[in-house]
Amino acid sequence: MNSEQIKIGVLYPLSEQYKTIGTDFIKGLKLKQQPVKFLIESIGIGNDDKLAIDKMQKMHLQDDVQVFVAFTGHNNIDNLYSYAESNNIVLIVNDLGATLPFNSVKRKGVFINSYALNESVYLLGRSLKEKGYNTICTSTSYYDAGYGLLMALESGIAEAGLQFSGHYITPFQPRENEPECMEQAITSASPDAVVAFHSGLYAQEHKDFISNTSLLGSYPYYVTPFTISNGFIQQDTAGEFLVVSSWMPGMATDDFYTSFKEKHNEEPTVFAMLGYESYLLLSEIIGKGAESYDAMCSTIANCAIEGPRGIITIDKETNRTFFNHYIFKTIAYDENNFSFQQVETLKNDGGFLKRVLQMPVPPKLGGWHNAYLCH
């Protein structure tokens, strides 16, 4: 491949809650120099497959772009995959993994790189079992409950032989005494541990509610990364909860974190991290001189990259990235100054993808269409 002439199409989402989602993703993608030309288009809040296909088609036909990087949602996303496969387009898709990848049909040339929130909470089940916990209570919001995280956690909990003792969901219109309701519901469930997941304004809302309870000091609390909003971590409660995730800023293997902070004078977000991993995948085909469509597909399918999350490979059955997950302890210096210490590795044996692929595809009875966090 003549790397001086390669064009890369970039599709990115918008978000009211995370206004820098697209900017951060592109900063990660462009962190290191590459002899390429990026053509960049927005796809709204990630719920319109036709818009994404139109933007891809325009760059493909008008600008002769054959390689794309995208940050997408999940609504009818298979239509985008199908278009790419039918037109010999190499497509590296990034998402947050808030839904279960039902119907994850392998598409030639389409590679899915996920933050995999779903897989993180699924793998958590085994860890909770090893710690001797038997009953788990969940805490989430009306918005976050509309995605697939609860189903993923349920699968991991059931496989580990554990049980739910209760679910607390903050209503769309919180009650005046919401902190009291939260504390009473979770306490009445008598769990051995609590698993909480929130995002955006609902994470901030949850922080305000839980700060008026004694819950963080009463139970082991496991949270997903987006639950941690500004002011959530206090010095006197930092040891009471853990974060389950495939990546947090400052991981031991994370040279990306240092490079990003030096260049932009700010900490990278997960969106930037996914952009950077896309750069690493692109580097495989550029660095190895893969010119034809088949050569590019084969190069990515058989690569092993070392990135912010450690070694990442491609699952041969689904063309999805494969990596370990982790549990982090927070180290707080004050409410807005803290770091994360990796305390446990959740070794990925591929069980999550295998389980999901064996599940019957549920009818579309509800849930949200927009990309997670793009509310």
- Residue 61: the pLDDT is 97
> What single letter denotes the amino acid at residue 25?
F
- Residue 335: the pLDDT is 61
Nearest to 195 by CA among 97, 123, 96, 248: 123
**Percentage above 70 pLDDT, the chain:** 93
Question: Per residue, what are the HEC states of the chain?
Answer: CCHHHCEEEEEECCCCCCCCHHHHHHHHHCCCCCCCEEEEEECCCCCCHHHHHHHHHHHHHHCCCCEEEEECCCCCHHHHHHHHHHCCCEEEEEECCCCCCCCCCCCCCEEEEECCHHHHHHHHHHHHHHCCCCEEEEEEECCHHHCCHHHHHHHHHHHCCCEEEEEEEECCCCCCCHHHHHHHHHHHHCCCEEEEECCHHHHHHHHHHHCCCCHHHCCCEEECHHHCCCCCCCCCCHHHEEEEECCCCCCCCCHHHHHHHHHHCCCCCHHHHHHHHHHHHHHHHHHCCCCCHHHHHHHHHCCEEEECCEEEEECCCCCEEECCEEEEEEEEEECCEEEEEEEEEECCCCHHHHHHHHCCCCCCCCCCCCCCCCC
For residue 308, report the phi and psi dihedrals to the nearest 5 degrees. -55, -30
Least confident of 129-143, 277-291, 355-369: 355-369
* Higher pLDDT pick, 193 / 366: 193
Strand ranges across the sheet with 110-114: 37-42, 7-12, 67-71, 90-95, 110-114
- Residue 169: the pLDDT is 97
Range 185-197 average pLDDT = 97
Q: At 237, is the pLDDT very low, low, confident or very high (cuts 50, 70, 90)?
A: low
pLDDT, tens digit (0-9, with 9 covering 90-100), for 30-74: 999 888 999 999 999 888 999 999 999 999 999 999 999 999 988
User: Could you give the CA distance from residue 78 to residue 84 in angstroms, rounded to a whole number?
Assistant: 10
- Residue 3: the pLDDT is 45
Range 263-291 average pLDDT = 94
* Higher pLDDT pick, 236 / 197: 197
Which residues, in sequence order, are CB contacts of 42 under 8 Å at separation 6+? 11, 12, 13, 14, 22, 55
CB 312 within 8 A of CB 256: no
Range 105-125 average pLDDT = 96
- Residue 349: the pLDDT is 92
CB 115 within 8 A of CB 152: no
Instruction: Return mean pLDDT, the chain.
Output: 91
pLDDT, tens digit (0-9, with 9 covering 90-100), for 206-232: 999 999 999 988 999 999 999 987 767
pLDDT, tens digit (0-9, with 9 covering 90-100), for 297-339: 999 999 999 999 999 999 999 999 999 999 998 877 766 677 7
- Residue 248: the pLDDT is 92
- Residue 360: the pLDDT is 80
> What single letter denotes the amino acid at residue 66?
Q
Range 5-17 average pLDDT = 91
- Residue 361: the pLDDT is 78
User: Could you give the CA distance from residue 73 to residue 84 in angstroms, rounded to a whole number?
Assistant: 16
